[in-house]
Structures are given as C-alpha cells and as structure tokens.
C-alpha cells in the first residue's frame, strides 16, 4: 500500500500529522530547505522527531532541497552527517552535489530526487536511478498515463496528491529571484504568481498566474494502481489543522471511505480544487485566487478539525505476559505485532492481607493504555495464589514496559548509517583557453545575423535545424532541447534525425537529455535549467556526460569566478531571462490563442513576453528587460564561453549584439537593460 506523506513545517504540525495517522512525514532543518519561511526544525528537534516517528513505524524524510553554493558545501555536509547519525529514512534533495556527498560519505543513506529536479520523463527517472536515488518525486504537471510509465522504471515514484499548485514547473521558476532576489530554488519564493497579473482578459484585477490547489483525493485508487509508492501532501507552510485534515481525507479516500470534502476545501483552497493535470486538462477552470470567503470558511472549519488530532489513533497492539511468583521479582513482557518485545522487572510481591492479585485485577491495570500508541492485545498471566501487588506498582510496570517498547521500536526502525568524511572537490581543475561566444536562436531570420567566424556554436530548436544546416557549418550547430515534454519518444526520434543530418551537439535543458544524448553519441552541453551552482554539482554533471555547462544565472559574478571548474563553464550573458516554465498558458486561458497578446502585465504595468512552444506543450514567461553584460565582461574573465539568447531580435540586432560582446561593449550600452542577479545575488 502506498504511504501517505505529510508535510511538517513545525513541531506542532508534526504532532498533528502523527495523531491524524500519516505513514510518513517530511520536514526541513534550519538550512537548505525549500520552505525557509516555515518554522522548521533544529537538529535537536529532528532527533526527537525521528524517535517519535520511528516508535510509531512512521518514516521521516528530511528536505535538503535547495541549490547550494560552494561556500556552503561544508555546512551542507554537516547536515547530511546529522541525518546519517540520527537515522532519518531519507533526504529529499535538488542539488546534484548531494549525490556526490552521499556516495562518498554515507552510501547507506537513502536519497530522494526532489520535484525541484524537474523529473517528468522515463529517461529522467532512469538518470535518478543511475545517480543512486531510491525515489523520485515527479513534476506536478503530469497526467496519469505518464505517471504510470514512470512507475515502470524500477524506482519508487512519489507524486503530489493534495496542496498548492505552482504556476511554474518546480525547479524552473526564477520570477521571485529575478524580481526581488527571493529565490524559489533557495526556499524563499515570494509567490509573485499570487499577485495581480493580466494575460489580456477583461476585468479590473486579474490573477492570471494563480492556480487553484490540486486535490486528487477522489483519484487515489487510480494513482496507487498506477504504481505510485508515496502520496505526497504539499503544505509545510500550513497550519496543523490543514495537515491533519488532509491526512485524514487521504486516509479515508484511500480506504474507500467517505471523507469530508467541504471541510477539506474550507480549511484551505483558492476558490476550490482542481485535478486537471491528471487528465491532461488545462484552461480557465484551473485558475483561482484565495478570497475573503475562503478565509472566512477556514475560520469556521478550524475548531471542527481540532477533534481530528486531539487524541491519537492506536498504531499497534501490545501483548503482555506478566509473571508474579512467590519470592521472585515480578516481570512484565510487552510485545507488538512485529514480535518486538521487552521485559521489565518489579519488586518481589508480598503475601496478601486482603485481596490477592488475580488475572482479572492485573488485566484491568494493564489495559489502561490511554496515553500510549497501543491498544491492548492478549494478556497472559502466571500468578501464584495469595500474593499482593498494588495497582500503583502494576501501573508503573505498564508504563515502563510501554516506554521500553517505544524505545525498542524506535531502534528497530532506525536508519542510522555510517558517515566517513571525504573531500568533495578533489578533482583537477580545468583551465580555459580563449573565451568564446555561443548563441541560441529562435527563428530563421536570426540565422542571417550570425557570422560563423564570430561564434563557437549556434543552438537552434528542432524546427530550425534544417534551415541552419543551409547557412552554417554543421560542426557549429547544436540542438537546443525543449525544456519540458510529454512525448520523450518523439524527441528521441527528432534527435536521431538531427544526428543523421550531421549535427553533433545538443544543449541539455533537463537532466533527461543527458542519457538521451549519450545514447545517440552527441556532445552534451549542460544548460542553465540544470541549476548548477557549485563545483561539486558541476563535477557530477561532467561525470554524467556533459562536456561543459552553463552555470546557474542565480550565481553572482564573484561566485562564478571562484568556482573550481572540472570542465569548461560558461554564463548566460545576454537575453531575456526565463522567469517561468509552465504548461498552462496565462494568455490562452485569459483571452484565447486567437487573441494572443504574447505578453502578461503585472500590477506595476510591466510587460513580460510569453514565448509559446505549442508542439512541446509549454510556454515560457520571459523577463521584462534584457540582460546585457557586454560592458561588464572583465568580471566574467573566468567564464569559458558566453551564451547569448535571442528571442525577439531581428537579424541586424543579432549581428550587432554579437559584435558588441566581441568588442566588450566599447560602443556603449542600451538605455534599458538589466544585470540580472550577477551583482545583487539571491537570498
């Protein structure tokens, strides 16, 4: 049976989740958690939480699911060490550096691939398996038929079944970072998508980036039959009542019992729930915003929900075997359904002056299990006649036996594993030759602006490959892979055709592209979508097969300069930074494709271009300003290549901008530009 996995942003929420009957919990420490604004847990609290979970047979996973900077690798390694020592059941991680840490230092520690890794295809799941992951948390945008395919890859699959839906595919949202330096990949998303924003539709105030929460409670049977191992509830920022209600609803739904849909919606929703992605459905009915009516409904529902976790359901039965013999210490053995047993001893019983101990009176005292996780099973009593045992002493024996059984169960379920310190960046550093320029193009006209002598590589989408081969040397052409796909087989076939035409390079925008490119013999160039922010992650990408990689544009210029490079590393140096990758177009649902405005407008009046990749089934929301660094290239001397992304530019602008980067912007800079995050950084 699949586990019900509950979110815990505080110790109070953990207690609510356990009392509601969850099978597993996930929580974050004081650092490296994708919900940094939750209360989260100290190391001491994590240790205590592990004990409370394991004595109940509940699993505990710690999230270390943010990107990590070089200067934080030692601190992160200390967090991994603590996980190994206290025996968490696994860590949920985004950064590729964690795979190297665990492989080298504590290979017995289970790791789960976070949804922040944007795994959504069979090859992506296969790669996580190759990296040593025990489980993969797949993207929320997937329909049931694709989830079923992912479950056939020989690794546990975890899927979200209730909670908030981000507008962007997880791991590929940079809007909060670019607008306000609060990075979603660092656990500090400011939820810009919940603010007013218009895709062009009518109405005074629109929220065209705000999706309703998902709820698959009515579909849990289908999801489990598809092979999903873990049913994940989102909500580490939510109240204990929310978590308890979500756990209770999932438990009942999974058991085929009715659950209180209205109260589940009342406790938190944004104008209701959606299950659209599960059936490949998109559109306006998936969008919603939290209203005053929603908040009022929650206020009324909360007291009702308290009953769900006021007391805890019993986790197991306890069987007692009591021995009361003349002249010997009393003993009480407690055992559970898994035959875990403990024995405690008491005093030597005295002759009875009045009523002697018998099976009935002893059983009555042993049955008082109200504050434990146990219900009474069988009581076997071996009692000599004429002996007295006070109720107080029997109660003490029972309490000590139950405590000892708790301890033994917690130890039995512990996942403690050995940790051996090891260096993480003990590789030979790559030293660059001359810095080169690479370009990414969108359309045929832009090809006219590219002088083959001015660039090292030109990446184009599949649709532009044939035309590129007519005007550029094939050895300078690469395929810019689609950032999301619902049809991996089609991508593979198109990539084969490109290879047969003489194209040997590919830009991997998702981890799944690495095994795809390896199998076909491509030279693989890691893209910014891999979120490579430290030297150790770069090494892992190299070991997987990348010939070089673009560093994350969430790094500061000074951080890029300090990277220890295991291979050539470049920077996103020009273009509109991608803010969101989404399969639900905010413009289409607002005004329809026929009336497409090709942009969205935020509450300050800024326009953000929307780039449609209709064949692949996704759109990208781009920054309102163009990143320009031609006059700042002295700060990027250690970058081995500069990647220039062209989207709306005409051929003349393409030619001019390439020349400006070759000449370090000696002819000035445009009036409207952004330096991205290279100087202000992210929190």
Structure tokens at 10: 């505080």
- What average pLDDT is seen over the chain? 95
Percent of the chain with pLDDT over 70: 99
**How many Å apart are CA 458 and CA 465, to the nearest integer?**
10
The answer to whether 373 and 315 are in contact (CB under 8 A) is yes
Q: What is the pLDDT of residues 488-537, one digit of tens each?
A: 999 999 999 999 999 999 999 999 999 999 999 999 999 999 999 999 99
Kindly give, in sequence order, each residue whose CB lies less than 8 Å from that of residue 611, ignoring residues fewer than 6 positions away. 442, 619, 620, 621, 622, 647
DSSP 29-62: -SSS-S-TTS----HHHHHHHHHHHHHTT-EEEE
CATH 3.30.420.10 fits 3-165+214-258, yes or no: no
Of 68-82, 612-626, 633-647, 657-671, the range with the lowest mean pLDDT is 657-671
The answer to whether 611 and 620 are in contact (CB under 8 A) is yes
Quick count: other Cβ atoms within 10 Å of Cβ 507?
24
Chain region(s) in the chain for CATH 3.20.20.70: 3-165+214-258, 436-575+626-662
Residue 54 pLDDT more than 90?
A: yes
The answer to whether 236 and 28 are in contact (CB under 8 A) is yes
pLDDT of residue 464: 98
Structure tokens at 51: 């004990």
Backbone angles phi and psi of 347, in degrees to 5: -80, 175
Q: Report which of 292, 167, 283 is spatially closest to residue 602, judged by C-alpha positions.
A: 167
- Report the pLDDT averaged over residues 60-73: 97
Longest dimension (CA), the chain: 108
Quick count: other Cβ atoms within 10 Å of Cβ 498?
25
pLDDT of residue 220: 98
pLDDT of residue 51: 98
Residue 202 pLDDT more than 80?
A: no
- Report the pLDDT averaged over residues 666-675: 85
Percent of the chain with pLDDT over 90: 88
Whole-angstrom CA distances from 57 to 52, 82, 338 are: 9, 21, 11
How far from chain centre, in Å, is Cα 411? 28
Of 146-155, 185-194, 296-305, 620-629, the range with the lowest mean pLDDT is 296-305
Q: 192-223 b/e with 16+ CB inside 10 Å = b?
A: bbbebbbbbbeeeebbbbbbbbbbbbebbeeb
- Report the pLDDT averaged over residues 456-473: 98
Q: What is the pLDDT of residues 144-180, one digit of tens each?
A: 999 999 999 999 999 999 999 999 999 999 999 999 9
**How many Å apart are CA 609 and CA 35, to the nearest integer?**
29
The answer to whether 642 and 574 are in contact (CB under 8 A) is yes
The answer to whether 60 and 88 are in contact (CB under 8 A) is yes
**514 SS3 class:** helix
Quick count: other Cβ atoms within 10 Å of Cβ 679?
11
Alpha helices in 275-320 (DSSP H): 292-310
**How many Å apart are CA 392 and CA 389, to the nearest integer?**
8
CATH 3.20.20.70 fits 436-575+626-662, yes or no: yes
pLDDT of residue 402: 98
Token match 């003990």: residue?
Answer: 426
Q: Report which of 52, 43, 94, 97 is spatially closest to residue 70, judged by C-alpha positions.
A: 97
Residue 56 pLDDT more than 80?
A: yes
- Report the pLDDT averaged over residues 444-468: 97
**153 SS3 class:** coil
Query: What one-character DSSP code corresponds to residue 211?
Result: B
Q: Report which of 38, 27, 31 is spatially closest to residue 66, judged by C-alpha positions.
A: 31
* Range 395-400 contact pairs with CB under 8 angstroms and sequence separation of 24 or more: 395/365, 395/368, 396/346, 397/322, 397/330, 397/332, 397/344, 397/346, 398/320, 398/332, 398/365, 398/366, 398/368, 398/369, 400/332, 400/344
Residue 445 pLDDT more than 70?
A: yes
Residue 590 pLDDT more than 80?
A: yes
The answer to whether 30 and 41 are in contact (CB under 8 A) is yes
Q: 569-606 b/e with 16+ CB inside 10 Å = b?
A: bbbbbbbbbbbbbbbbbbbbbbbeeeebbebbbbeeee
* Confidence band for 293, pLDDT divided at 50, 70 and 90: confident
pLDDT of residue 343: 98
Residue 203 pLDDT more than 70?
A: no
Give the burial class of 546: count Cβ atoms within 10 A of its Cβ; 0-12 exposed, 13-18 middle, 19 or more buried.
buried
Whole-angstrom CA distances from 21 to 16, 25, 372 are: 9, 11, 14
Structure tokens at 76: 């992160």
The answer to whether 164 and 563 are in contact (CB under 8 A) is no
**How many Å apart are CA 481 and CA 478, to the nearest integer?**
9
Residue 667 pLDDT more than 80?
A: no
Residue 665 pLDDT more than 90?
A: no
**How many Å apart are CA 446 and CA 647, to the nearest integer?**
9
- pTM of the complete model: 0.95
**How many Å apart are CA 70 and CA 82, to the nearest integer?**
20
Task: Give the number of C-alpha atoms closer than 13 A to the C-alpha of residue 438, restricted to the C-beta side.
Answer: 29
pLDDT of residue 301: 86
**How many Å apart are CA 562 and CA 308, to the nearest integer?**
52
How far from chain centre, in Å, is Cα 483? 18
Q: Report which of 172, 173, 142 is spatially closest to residue 157, judged by C-alpha positions.
A: 142
* Confidence band for 309, pLDDT divided at 50, 70 and 90: confident
Alpha helices in 367-413 (DSSP H): 391-412
- Report the pLDDT averaged over residues 544-573: 98
Which helix or strand (DSSP H or E) is residue 549 part of? strand 546-550
Kindly give, in sequence order, each residue whose CB lies less than 8 Å from that of residue 499, ignoring residues fewer than 6 positions away. 520, 521, 522
Question: Would residue 316 be called left, alpha or beta, if left means φ above 0 and alpha means ψ between -120 and 50 degrees?
Answer: beta
pLDDT of residue 432: 82
- Report the pLDDT averaged over residues 351-364: 92
**How many Å apart are CA 347 and CA 362, to the nearest integer?**
15
Q: What is the pLDDT of residues 236-264, one digit of tens each?
A: 999 999 999 999 999 999 999 999 999 99
Helix/strand/coil (H/E/C) assignment for every residue in 328-356: CCCEEEEECCCCCEEEEECCCCEECCCCC
């Amino acid at each position: 049976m699949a586990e019900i996995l509950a979110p815990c942003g505080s110790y109070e929420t953990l207690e609510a989740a356990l009392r509601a009957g969850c099978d597993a919990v996930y929580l974050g420490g004081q650092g490296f958690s994708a919900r940094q604004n939750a209360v989260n847990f100290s190391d001491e609290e994590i240790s205590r939480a592990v004990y409370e979970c394991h004595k109940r047979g509940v699993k505990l996973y710690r999230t270390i699911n943010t990107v990590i900077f070089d200067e934080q690798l030692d601190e992160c390694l200390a967090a991994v060490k603590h996980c190994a020592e206290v025996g968490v059941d696994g860590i949920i991680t985004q950064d590729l550096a964690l795979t190297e840490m665990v492989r080298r230092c504590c290979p017995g520690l289970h790791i789960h691939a976070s949804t922040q890794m944007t795994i959504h295809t069979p090859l992506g799941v296969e790669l996580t398996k190759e990296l040593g992951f025990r489980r993969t948390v797949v993207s929320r945008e997937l329909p049931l038929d694709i989830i079923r395919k992912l479950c056939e890859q020989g690794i546990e699959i975890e899927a979200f079944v209730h909670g908030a839906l981000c507008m962007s595919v997880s791991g590929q949202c940079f809007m909060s970072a670019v607008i306000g330096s609060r990075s979603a990949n660092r656990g500090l998303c400011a939820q810009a998508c919940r603010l007013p924003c218009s895709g062009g539709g009518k109405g005074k105030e629109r929220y065209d980036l705000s999706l309703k929460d998902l709820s698959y409670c009515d579909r849990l049977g289908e999801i489990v039959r598809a092979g999903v191992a873990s049913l994940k509830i989102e909500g580490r920022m939510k109240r204990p009542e929310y978590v308890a209600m979500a756990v209770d609803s999932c438990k009942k739904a999974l058991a085929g019992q009715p659950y209180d849909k209205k109260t589940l919606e009342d406790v938190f929703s944004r104008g209701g729930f959606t299950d659209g992605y599960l059936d490949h459905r998109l559109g306006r009915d998936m969008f919603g915003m939290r209203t005053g009516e929603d908040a009022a409904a929650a206020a009324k529902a909360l007291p009702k929900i308290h009953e769900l976790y006021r007391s805890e359901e019993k986790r197991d039965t306890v069987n007692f075997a009591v021995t009361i013999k003349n002249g010997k210490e009393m003993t009480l053995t407690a055992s559970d359904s898994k035959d875990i047993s403990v024995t405690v001893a008491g005093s030597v019983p005295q002759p009875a002056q009045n009523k002697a101990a018998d099976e009935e009176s002893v059983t009555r005292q042993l049955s008082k299990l109200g504050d434990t996780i146990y219900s009474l099973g069988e009581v076997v009593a071996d009692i000599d006649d004429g002996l007295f045992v006070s109720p107080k002493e029997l109660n003490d024996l029972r309490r000590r036996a139950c405590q000892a059984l708790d301890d033994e169960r917690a130890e039995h379920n512990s996942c403690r594993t050995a940790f051996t310190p090891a260096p993480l960046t003990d590789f030979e550093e790559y030293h660059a030759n001359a810095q080169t320029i690479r370009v990414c193009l969108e359309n045929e006209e832009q090809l006219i602006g590219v002088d083959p002598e001015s660039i090292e590589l030109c990446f184009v989408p599949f649709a532009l490959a044939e035309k590129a081969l007519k005007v550029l040397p094939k050895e300078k052409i690469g395929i810019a892979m689609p950032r999301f796909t619902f049809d991996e087989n089609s991508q593979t076939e198109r990539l084969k055709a490109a290879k047969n035409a003489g194209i040997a390079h590919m830009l991997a925008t998702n981890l799944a592209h690495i095994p795809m490119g390896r199998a076909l013999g491509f030279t693989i160039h890691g893209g910014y979508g891999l979120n490579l922010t430290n030297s150790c992650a770069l090494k892992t990408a190299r070991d997987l097969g990348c010939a070089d990689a673009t560093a994350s544009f969430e790094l500061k210029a000074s951080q890029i300069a300090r990277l220890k490079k295991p291979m050539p590393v470049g920077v996103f140096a020009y273009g509109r930074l991608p803010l969101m990758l989404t399969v639900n177009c905010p413009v289409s649902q607002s005004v329809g494709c026929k009336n497409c405005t090709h942009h969205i407008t935020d509450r300050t009046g800024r326009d953000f271009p929307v780039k449609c990749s209709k064949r692949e089934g996704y759109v990208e929301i781009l920054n309102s300003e163009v990143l320009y660094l031609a006059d700042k290239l002295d700060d990027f001397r250690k970058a081995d290549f500069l990647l220039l992304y062209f989207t709306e530019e005409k051929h003349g602008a393409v030619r001019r901008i390439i020349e400006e980067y070759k000449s370090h912007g000696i002819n000035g800079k445009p009036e409207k530009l952004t330096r991205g995050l290279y100087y202000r950084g992210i929190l």
